[in-house]
Chains A and B, each alone.
Chain A
Amino acid sequence: MTKKSKPHVPAVTAVPEFSISARHSKALALTADQAPTRRTLLLGAATAAGAAALAASPKKARAIAPPGAVEYPVPADPTLVPGRPPGLNGGYGTRSQFETEVREWSGSGTSSRTPLASSEGTITPSALHFERHHNGIPEINPEEHALLVHGMVKRPLTFSMADLKRLPSTSRVAFIECAGNSAGEYHAARGKELHNMHGLVSSSEWTGVALSTVLREAGLKPGAAWILAEGRDASMLSRSIPVEKALDDAILAYAQNGEALRPEQGYPLRLLLPGWEGVTNVKWLHRLDVSDAPFQTREETSHYTDLNIITGKAKQFTFIMAAKSLILFPHPEAKLEGPGFYEITGLAWSGRGRIKRVEVTTDGGKSWHLAELQDPVLPKAQTRFRFPWVWDGEPAMLQSRATDETGYVQPSIRQLKEVRGDAERGNVNYHNNAIQTWRVNPGGTIENVHFSGHP
């Protein structure tokens, strides 16, 4: 771990033959307490020892080395010893041993959440993409995996992974958000940590073959209207997908962020339905059954349907994830150290297209200001927004509000409850895209609250 350590002043003064350049001073200022000093590294024996330490095989990551990292010796001054050669990590890169972000997984073992508080830019590292499984992560050999396309098609076909990769490929950036993201925040502002509240959303660049291409190979019969997509996991998760979406922008994805899908994300093949609720992006995809009607599977009836407790009726096939935005800094685990400049930043996304604008308020909606959007603003992808803010030390109410290119405006929690009703428990509040409020207290602490005071 990085420590704030005292500069090793004696080491500097003990090597007068070197003038202390800026980079040496900086290195010394960052020296860890127990690390070798610049002087010891300059001595012949010590230099050899240091080099030997660097050349040695990496130790298996100890408990202190974070997941995904390898522990290497940390020299006092990295400018004075050769760095390690490539390949010590076996040829597949590892992150710095000083980086500790992980996705926290649920006790039930069915999900894990992206650590949004530390996210940068717009792409989620594959290793931090949220997970939601319905009976674990299957281990699948791609050479024994195939996609069957049958039902109302002229030519029922199977496609090996090699077949799919022979077909023309396409790539796009898209977010995936679980329909249940933020569900726990619907009734009341309960969450204390950003990832627990809203961490079931992530973004990647996905590569694969357009589903329309594969359907052309098989040839849809007249009347084909719905396609059952089925996974090869232990739940054999299945959802009915409208042909309209399949022919629009659906992708059979085999790659994510420039490499094969992660097993947690459906290796070797998943369905990608840009902008649609996460569960429809069926992972470990192995079968498409074309039909003239939806199949009414468990995951589109018992679950992932939106019960309105005012009417007692449920909305079904609520595929589209509506526009949402979220301030990621500051957030409840952060603390403002005192009055002064802060950059309010966050992410906005819409399953209906591009984000057109994000507005930010610091006074609970009395006044809204346009946030800067980071280019490129891509459809059905997360867009980074930024807003410069000088905090005067007084209480503040921070909110962001997204509008997408269709004119859809992110609602307040009060607006959602007026339409859908609100139960303290029992209901599953899917599709909660309400404006999130962070209350800034005079001491600089941040609180998660519900506030719809100045719409």
Chain B
Amino acid sequence: MSTFLATHKLGIRFGISALVLAVWTMDLGRASAQGFTPGRYGIGTPAEAELIAALDVDVRADGHGLPAGTGNYEAGAVLFSQLCVDCHGENLLGGRERGGALIGGRGTLTSEYPRRTVESYWPYATILFDYIRRAMPYPSPGGLEPSQVYSVIAYVLGKANIIEKSMVIGADNLAAIEMPNRDGFRSDWQPEMFR
């Protein structure tokens, strides 16, 4: 078997040599000869902490997974004007390209024209970090450093009047930011029943 590689766009590349796989397979063969344990096949390669750390980019609503770093409104404004403005617009209300409005829309969710934006709809500020780091900017995703992501968030949330423009945000305070629609969701797997 050839070398198995896991590559990741954040720039880290791992290889597990054919030798490791071969030794693993021989181990499995011996185990099988001694008796097969139903329900477990002994297939798969133990994942090293380094590999997991490189791939584990998700951030949960409680802030778990947020990396070190801080950002601020001014730095975010510069980044936004360079990387985000084409799609999201100078006033963050949507731009020439695909991106939607990021701010506005508070109080519209029961109106004739509900507007679902970061400001009016998103329940957690952590979603911004998780999503921007993995998926933005759309034409070149995955290229922002954590401090840059924090800065863009500070800019968007500052523009949305959710935080003070002077606030420095980072791993220790992002999850605590109270989003206006924090209580706007209820989990319900099932469809409505009509009869």
Contacts and interface: CB of A to CB of B under 8 A. Distances in A.
Interface of A: 108, 134-135, 143-146, 148-150, 155-160, 162-163, 166-168, 213-214, 216-218, 228, 230, 234-238, 242, 286-287, 289, 291, 293-298, 301-302, 305, 307, 309-320, 322, 408-409, 411, 415-416, 419-421, 423-428, 431, 433
Given A315-B186, A426-B113, A320 B191 contact: yes
Nearest to A311: B110
A319 B40 contact: no
Residue with the highest number of chain B CB atoms closer than 10 Å, among A236, A309, A426? A236
Contacts of A135: 135, 138, 141
B7 interface: yes
B30 to A, nearest CB: 17
Contact of A296 (B98, B127, B188): B127
Nearest to A162: B1
A289 B193 CA distance: 33
B113 A424 contact: yes
A415 B186 contact: no
B111 interface: yes
Given A242-B189, A293-B62, 19 more contacts: A150-B47, A159-B45, A167-B43, A218-B44, A234-B9, A235-B135, A236-B134, A236-B135, A287-B56, A289-B58, A291-B60, A293-B61, A297-B130, A301-B124, A309-B109, A309-B110, A309-B111, A314-B184, A426-B108
Given A309-B109, A424-B112, A158 B51 contact: yes
20 contacts: A144-B6, A158-B51, A160-B45, A163-B44, A163-B45, A234-B9, A236-B9, A236-B134, A287-B56, A291-B60, A293-B60, A293-B62, A295-B130, A317-B187, A320-B190, A411-B192, A420-B192, A421-B110, A427-B114, A428-B116
Nearest to A144: B5
Label chain B's interface by main secondary structure.
Answer: loop
Given A148-B6, A296-B123, A409-B194, A158 B45 contact: yes
B134 A238 contact: yes
Contacts of A166: 41, 43
Residue with the highest number of chain A CB atoms closer than 10 Å, among B58, B127, B191? B191
Contacts, number: 198
Nearest to A299: B131
A363 B93 CA distance: 47
B96 interface: no
Given A217-B41, A319-B189, A158 B112 contact: no
Interface in B162-195: 184-195
Contacts of A415: 194
A155 B41 CA distance: 13
A236 B43 contact: no
Nearest to A237: B135
Contact of A318 (B40, B52, B116, B189): B189
Interface in B98-152: 98, 108-116, 118, 121-124, 126-127, 130-131, 134-135, 138, 141-142
Nearest to B52: A150
> Interface size class for chain B?
35 or more
B43 A316 contact: no
A145 B110 CA distance: 45
Contacts of B16: 158
B2 interface: yes
A296 B131 CA distance: 10
B188 A317 contact: yes
B55 interface: yes
Given A144-B6, A157-B44, A307-B109, A316 B194 contact: no
Contacts of B1: 160, 162
Given A160-B4, A289-B58, A307-B109, A317 B193 contact: no
B193 A408 contact: yes
A415 B191 CA distance: 13
A144 B121 CA distance: 39
A237 B189 CA distance: 20
Residue with the highest number of chain B CB atoms closer than 10 Å, among A146, A216, A298, A315? A146
Contacts of A420: 192
Contacts of A162: 1
B79 interface: no
A237 B141 CA distance: 12
B75 interface: no
A317 B138 CA distance: 25
Contacts of B191: 318, 320, 322, 408, 431, 433
Contacts of B46: 155-157
A213 B44 CA distance: 11
Given A150-B52, A156-B47, A316-B185, A409 B195 contact: yes
A148 B43 contact: no
